[in-house]
Amino acid sequence: MLWNYRRKVAKLYRTLSFGMSVCWIVPILFFLCLSSPVKAEDVIRFGASLSLTGRMSTEGRLVKDGYDFYVKHINALGGIPIKGKKYKVEIVYYDDESDPKTAVRLVEKLIVQDNIKFLLGPYSSTCTIPASSVSEKYKIPMVEANGASNPIFERGYKYIFATLNTIDQYFGSIVKMASEVNPRPKTIAFINENSLAPQLANDAAAREAKKLGIKVVYKEKYPTGTKDLSSMLAEIRDKRPDILLGAGYTEGMILLVKQAKEMGVKVKMFGLLLGPTLPGFVEDLRKDADYLLEPIQWSSNMAWKDDVFGYTAPEFARLFEQDFGYKPDYHPPQAAAALLVYHHALQKAGVLDPQKVRDAIAQTDIMTFYGPIRFNEQGMNIGKGMAVVQIQNGKPVVVYPKSVAEGSLIYPIPRSQ
Amino acid sequence: MLYWQVLINGVLLGGLYACAAIGFSVIWGVMNLINLAHGSMIILGAYITYVINSATGLDPFLTIPISGAALFLLGFMVQKYLINHVIEGSVFMTLILTFGLDLLLVNMTLLLFTADFRSITPSYAGLGWEIGTIRVPYTRLGVFFFALALTLILSLLMNRTKLGNAIKATSFDKDAAGLVGVNVFQVYAITFGLGAAMAGMAGSLISVLHSFSPVLGGTFTMKAFVIVVLGGLGSVPGAIVGGLILGITENFASVLLEAGYKDAISFILLVAILVLRPRGILGKQFFAEV
């Protein structure tokens, strides 16, 4: 009996292993058939290392969906027309697990092994800074959409370009808007978390304010993870500034709004680096969130219209939701815009040579559903500025610049608040 | 005038700190157990208040008994069915266990409430008394008095009741306490329950003043650590003194020196106390002995 049973098991094992090998061979053959006969020159391949898992995976996926939006829509039109011939588009993705070291390795792999000539950016400044050093080394252009820190562009690199506004431009629009309102504010106070991005934002805004003749009466930083800002705010209250700008991350920003009210800080204009448009912020702070300002990269009700597909920003938002099942924030359109930059540059260069395409990118001057794009020598987008939203009756309303505004700024903040 | 305001801010913050640290202090003092999940228990209390407040609109201060009771139950169970099994072993075992418990609580709250920052804004938030140029916000004053009241109740419980005597006897010498008829493990479970309840109630208070997210527990555990070392292990008045000192120092540091250094100042204070008076300002030596 036992002998018989063993034979049966052996037979079953042989059958299974044969089955397994067939399982392997069939897809391998299938892929070989797929990949070899297609004429390689009819497809333009882009490469990107993205944070698809790990702590930044939520944002990483938003970026991937943005890139994929362009691919889907351009391939539906038959591809990018270059000199009368249409090229389909394909993106090779790798997952860097939200780790900058892995991103570096993968970008090198994309260039050396996969022979990618045109790179798209990863997610976050921490990944973009080292990844762009690799593309620079190999002289391969990288158009990124999600690294906003200035140090990316301050190294004299020639092959890095970004569609989004850098962190030092965040408060620029609010300060500029302040210089145009009536009565004109005379004094401004700054408070920020002691970390890189908030510091850059406030330093740049303070320079801008001085330039426009607004006096800086207070500028201090608080340590990360602080539980109390009340005494700093008491000091600010006693200096009576017209404007208060706070830069930090969510925890600090909520604390700032609550304690400013507790300490009786009464300013005419109150701006935060981030917060009001995050989930739960307005919902929890209720009317205390009213009149707060926040700089934003993009909003789906802006009046931009791109010249490849002819989509306006609202149309982009609608089509994107149709394709991916959720309403886009600013991440997907700025990612898609990176491919629009390549689209125009490839058409202009007329060849698939990375050097020539890089030169064409440098001369970019285009309009997209994400806004206008034009690069300075460092590769930063100076075509568009940040827009400003104000929370009015619990809803974010774009109030600046005038060309894309949905409503007018409420200034000064009504006294009862 | 600014300095008076700073002093008041410091005192108000100190009261909250004391309340947040007291549970940590009692557990450490009685069982020589460092509860690394203390901060997460505070956050759990804050979420209990948040859920009740957003579902029924009940005032956050009135949810304190509920979060206290819920956390007492949780703490009691955890000690009875988990920690009591390893408490006789080395201190590392309890450290590892409470660390694991912390991870479990953090991930559970992440799953339930996501990582979004939450806060509660009652209708009277931001209002306050104005005395000259000094402002005393109602919410902070309310939090301060509740924190002091809770701490006092705990102090009375420890000093005036049979249970309190049993807890103290156990902390002095658990073998002797066992010999005179104290059920040591039962006392441990109740003590951990009380510590957790204090954490939960402090969480309810914190939810009114701060924003919270499941991952923020660690910063509260850290503060509790500093306060307990400053004030003295296992001592209720010690926690109040430690909390007040930390609150006032932080506030003055943020105005007199560059605000970025205020954490550094608190830790310099901690080191100084450790060098000059290792048992803490109001600590008695035998509390910490194993």
Residue A16 scores a pLDDT above 90: no
Average pLDDT estimate for A18-28 = 57
Residue B288 has pLDDT above 50, yes or no: no
Four-point Cα dihedral A199, A203, A206, A210, nearest 10 = 170
Contacts of A231 in chain B (CB under 8 A): 5-6, 9-10, 251-252, 254-255
Is the Cβ pair A225, B121 closer than 8 Å?
no
Q: Do A285 and B121 touch (CB under 8 A)?
A: yes
pLDDT of amino acid A323: 95
Range of the domain at B43: 2-121+129-288
Q: For residues B199 and B237, which has the higher predicted lDDT (pLDDT)?
A: B199
Determine contact, residues A167/A200, Cβ cutoff 8 Å: yes
- Subunit contact B130:A264, Cβ cutoff 8 A: yes
pLDDT confidence tier of residue A373, bands split at 50, 70 and 90 = very high
Q: Which residues of chain A neighbour B259 with C-beta distances below 8 Å?
A: 220-223, 232
Structural domains of chain A, ranges and CATH numbers in brackets: 40-165+300-374 (3.40.50.2300), 169-296+386-404 (3.40.50.2300)
pLDDT attached to residue B290: 34
The SS3 assignment for B136 reads strand
What confidence tens digit (pLDDT) does each residue in B64-114 have?
Answer: 999 999 999 999 999 999 999 998 888 889 999 999 999 999 989 988 987
Chain B residues with CB-CB distance to A230 below 8 A: 9, 12-13, 140, 251
B110 lies within 8 A of chain A by CB: no
H/E run at residue B130 = strand B128-131
Dist CA B171 CA B32 (whole Å): 8
Q: What is residue A89's predicted lDDT score, i.e. its pLDDT?
A: 96
Mean pLDDT within A210-233: 91
The answer to whether residue A227 neighbours chain B at the CB level (below 8 Å) is yes
Contact: B259, A279; criterion CB under 8 Å: no
Q: What is the pLDDT of residue A226?
A: 85
Spell out which residues of chain A touch residue B250, defining contact as CB-CB under 8 Å. 228
ipTM score: 0.81
Q: At B248, is the pLDDT very low, low, confident or very high (cuts 50, 70, 90)? A: very high
Average pLDDT, chain A: 89
Q: Is the pLDDT of residue A111 over 90?
A: yes
Contact A230 B13 (CB under 8 A): yes
Distances from the Cα of A236 to the Cα of A199, A260, B137, angstroms = 18, 9, 17
Asked whether the predicted pLDDT for residue B160 surpasses 50, the reply is: yes
DSSP state of B279: T
Mean pLDDT along residues A36-63: 80
Q: What is the mean pLDDT of residues A280-296?
A: 90
Q: Hey, is B114 helix, strand or coil? A: coil
With a cut of 60, say whether residue B181 has pLDDT above it.
yes
Identity of the residue numbered B120: I
- Whether chain B has a CB inside 8 Å of the CB on A58: the answer is no
Examine the pLDDT at B282 and tell me if it is beyond 70. Answer: yes
Chain B contact for A288, CB < 8 A? yes
What pLDDT, on the 0 to 100 scale, is given for residue A9? 61
Q: Is some CB atom of chain A closer than 8 A to the CB atom of B13?
A: yes
Q: How far is A224 from chain B (nearest CA, A)?
A: 9
pLDDT in tens, A59-72: 888 999 999 999 99
Tell me if chain A has a CB within 8 Å of the CB of B174: no
Distance from the Cα of B72 to chain A's closest Cα (Å) equals: 26
Name the DSSP class of B125. T
Residue B52 sits in a domain of what CATH number?
1.10.3470
Digit-coded pLDDT (tens) for B9-65 = 999 999 999 999 999 999 998 888 999 999 999 999 999 999 999 999 999 999 999
At residue A294, what are phi and psi to the nearest 5 degrees?
A: -145, 135
For A211, half-sphere exposure in the C-beta direction (CA atoms, 13 angstrom radius) is 9
A84 and chain B: CB distance < 8 Å anywhere? no
Name the most confidently modeled range: A53-62, A221-230, A335-344, A391-400.
A335-344
Tell me the mean pLDDT in the region B174-179: 90
B5, B128, B213 member nearest A234 (Cβ): B5
Q: Any idea which residue has 């924190």 for tokens?
A: B147
Question: Which residues in chain B are contacts of A225 at CB distance < 8 A?
Answer: 216, 219
Instruction: Pinpoint the alpha helices (H) of chain B.
Output: 2-31, 38-56, 64-81, 91-113, 138-160, 162-172, 174-179, 184-209, 217-231, 236-256, 262-276
At B254-272, the pLDDT tens digits run 888 877 787 788 888 889 9
**Tokens 């008491």 found at:** A234
Q: Is the pLDDT score of A55 beyond 80?
A: no
pLDDT tens per residue across span B53-69: 999 999 999 999 999 99
pLDDT digits (tens, 9 = 90+) for B117-144: 888 988 888 888 888 888 899 998 999 9
A175-194 residues touching B, CB cutoff 8 A? 194
What residues pair up with A188 in beta bridges, in sequence order? Answer: A216, A243
**Percent of chain B topping pLDDT 90:** 51
Two tokens at A149? Answer: 């820190």
Question: Taking CA atoms, what residue in A is nearest to B259?
Answer: A222
The domain tally of chain B equals: 1
Residues A144-184 have pLDDT tens digits of 999 999 999 999 999 999 999 999 899 999 999 999 998 99
Residue A37 confidence (pLDDT): 45
